[in-house]
A and B are shown apart, each in its own frame.
Chain A
Amino acid sequence: MIAVCRLEDLPAGESVRLDTAPPVAVFNADGELFAIDDTCSHQDASLSEGWLEGCVVECPLHAASFDLRTGRPTCLPARRPVRTHQVYVEDGVIHVRLATAEEGSAA
């Protein structure tokens, strides 16, 4: 369980990066919260800095897109999914429960 920030500190359309190992990106996509591994499965870019549109984030380096609900890439150049993690809000604070190595992967 990792406390991320207060809900009001992550408005819709925003994202935040957690310095976990590996790092995790938390998104507020139009009011719905999602967490995925922050490092793009293609090469080496931080998805928390990507372009968020609906439930899809576009990588800021080579524009692969990932569905935040499943972690699956929706276009090239990424070919592998990123792990997804559980997010919930408790007492107004966003929490992430990190998936284990086997969980969270859409593969």
Chain B
Amino acid sequence: MRAVTVVGASLAGLYAARELRAQGFDGRLVVVGAEPHHPYDRPPLSKGFLTGDCAEPQLALSDAEEAAELDAEWILGARAHALDARGRTVVLDDGRTLASDGVVIATGAFARHLPGPALTGVHTLRTLDDARALRRALVHGPRRVVVIGGGFIGAETASSCVALGHDVTVVEAAQLPLAAQLGAEMAFVCAGLHARGGARLLTGAGVTALRGAGPTTLGGGAVTAVELSDGRLLPADVVVVGIGAAPNTGWLTGSPLALDDGVLCDDGCVTTLPQVVAVGDVARVGGDRAEHWTSATEQPRVAVRNLLARHTVETARPLPYFWSDQYGSRLQFAGRRGEGDTVRIVEGSPDALGGGGFLAVYERAGRTTAVLALDRARPFTKVRRALMAAAATDREAEREGEYMEDAARAS
């Protein structure tokens, strides 16, 4: 392989570039990124960066020394616009074309917006520029902040806003935030963090409109309130819309790649074209799309291996893992939870939220499926590692099974 183009210059794209060099690729390496910035880390954006504990230089994922070692051409502030039929040419929005033998798709996801006219004071939080703008809106004395969406980004943003002394209300359309991720029982416990931290949480409350006043250059004026489906009006100076993210696949429409809530890949991150792999938030690997830091850093190793081998020689089904920092506590979750799994508290107590934390395991048919910890990093890691080991054994057994089936068919 003589030339590889990585599209997306963030976490997964950088890790893919690193893997390409680490695995011996010495050809032309081009990394294209729509943002003008060199790769930076997103998790601190809703946490330390908003509160001011983490300065911008600390977000950098790489440095000049590594950049020199990687010997890649960085095309930043340029968006990929199309991929040709054989997946060998990436077309940029400024008309440039990049010819490659291999393509890594790492275009991540974008924050969903609410419909309606743009109002000043309304923010989403996905990029450094988003975070800079939100931070600017938060540093001038106490404001009334309404966070729409009680997911991880919403909760972390609310927590950071409370830390900055703002009056914060979180509005969640569902009866419980995070129920899909944590299950109702633990979601209920974690929802208690808002009250403990000093934010209001309104659940089962849909947003019907954002109210604005006074014309601005944007057209809709400045936000004044959030209107709820039950008619309530929440006065607001700053609104943060945290209603989830969608994969950046728009530029691939018209390419032969299969798209469905992400770029469809096999278990080895290989798309329907063997010379194109996808990693990170944009990739739906073996049926699942994760929006987690750890998947974005673990998938590139396997994806690059398969890209260089020109077909799937290794699969990547890492155990899902994510963490979240809210109101001075750290949540960690790992595993694959199913509906109906039972939850068992094995350490601490969820009643004493924050008072030493707790460790909960999810179980089905006598087996541990997932683990959740609040401020219990050490026992969490122990269970997480056991889950990783069990998953590896299962995969081994699965392969063995497939092999037996193949053997049976062959004979």
* Proximity bits, B366-397, A CB within 8 Å = 1, else 0: 00000000000110111001000000000000
Q: Which of A60, A76, A77 contacts B377 (CB 8 A)?
A: A60
Contact A51 B385 (CB under 8 A): yes
Instruction: Report the bound CA distance from A46 to B323 in whole Å.
Output: 14
Q: How far is the CB of B61 from chain A (nearest CB, A)?
A: 8
Give every chain A residue within 8 A of B382 (Cβ-Cβ).
Answer: 51
Give every chain A residue within 8 A of B18 (Cβ-Cβ).
Answer: 76
* Proximity bits, A41-73, B CB within 8 Å = 1, else 0: 001111001110000001011110000000000
Contact A79 B63 (CB under 8 A): yes
Q: Which of A50, A58, A60, A62 contacts B293 (CB 8 A)?
A: A62
Give every chain B residue within 8 A of A46 (Cβ-Cβ).
Answer: 377
Q: How far is the CB of A60 from chain B (nearest CB, A)?
A: 4
Known A61-B323, A79-B63; contact A51-B294, beta-carbon cutoff 8 A: no
Give every chain A residue within 8 A of B323 (Cβ-Cβ).
Answer: 61
B44 at interface, CB cutoff 8 A: yes
Known A44-B48, A51-B385, A79-B63; contact A60-B380, beta-carbon cutoff 8 A: yes
Instruction: Report the bound CA distance from A79 to B377 in whole Å.
Output: 22
Docked complex: B58-114 residues within 8 A CB-CB of A: 61, 63
Q: How far is the CB of B324 from chain A (nearest CB, A)?
A: 11
Number of B residues contacting the other chain (C-beta, 8 Å)? 17
Q: Which of B48, B63, B378 contacts A49 (CB 8 A)?
A: B378
Instruction: Report the bound CA distance from A49 to B323 in whole Å.
Output: 15
Instruction: Report the bound CA distance from A3 to B322 in whole Å.
Output: 37
Give every chain A residue within 8 A of B385 (Cβ-Cβ).
Answer: 51
**What DSSP secondary structure best describes chain B's contact surface?**
helix
Contact A49 B293 (CB under 8 A): no
Chain A, Cβ-Cβ closest to B385: A51
Docked complex: A68-92 residues within 8 A CB-CB of B: 76-77, 79
B203 at interface, CB cutoff 8 A: no
Give every chain A residue within 8 A of B342 (Cβ-Cβ).
Answer: none
Give every chain B residue within 8 A of A51 (Cβ-Cβ).
Answer: 381-382, 385
Docked complex: B22-71 residues within 8 A CB-CB of A: 44, 48, 61, 63
Give every chain A residue within 8 A of B381 (Cβ-Cβ).
Answer: 49-51, 58, 60
Q: How far is the CB of A88 from chain B (nearest CB, A)?
A: 26
Instruction: Report the bound CA distance from A61 to B47 in whole Å.
Output: 15
Q: Which of B44, B48, B61, B377 contacts A61 (CB 8 A)?
A: B377
Instruction: Report the bound CA distance from A49 to B297 in whole Å.
Output: 22
Give every chain A residue within 8 A of B332 (Cβ-Cβ).
Answer: 60-61
Instruction: Report the bound CA distance from A43 to B323 in whole Å.
Output: 13
Give every chain B residue within 8 A of A62 (Cβ-Cβ).
Answer: 293-294, 297
Chain A, Cβ-Cβ closest to B43: A43
Contact A43 B44 (CB under 8 A): yes
Give every chain B residue within 8 A of A50 (Cβ-Cβ).
Answer: 377-378, 381
Instruction: Report the bound CA distance from A60 to B384 in whole Å.
Output: 10
* Proximity bits, B325-337, A CB within 8 Å = 1, else 0: 0000010100000
Give every chain A residue within 8 A of B294 (Cβ-Cβ).
Answer: 62-63
Contact A60 B63 (CB under 8 A): no
Instruction: Report the bound CA distance from A44 to B18 in whole Å.
Output: 24
Give every chain B residue within 8 A of A45 (Cβ-Cβ).
Answer: 377
Give every chain B residue within 8 A of A44 (Cβ-Cβ).
Answer: 48
Chain A, Cβ-Cβ closest to B18: A76
Chain A, Cβ-Cβ closest to B297: A77
Give every chain B residue within 8 A of A79 (Cβ-Cβ).
Answer: 63
Other than the known A50-B378, A60-B381, what 20 A-B pairs have Cβ atoms closer than 8 Å? A43-B44, A44-B48, A46-B377, A49-B377, A49-B381, A50-B377, A50-B381, A51-B381, A51-B382, A58-B381, A60-B332, A60-B377, A60-B378, A60-B380, A61-B330, A61-B377, A62-B294, A76-B18, A77-B61, A79-B63
7 contacts between A and B (CB under 8 A): A43-B44, A49-B381, A51-B385, A58-B381, A61-B323, A61-B377, A79-B63
Interface residues of A, Cβ cutoff 8 Å to B: 43-46, 49-51, 58, 60-63, 76-77, 79
3 nearest CB pairs, A to B: A60-B377, A49-B377, A49-B378
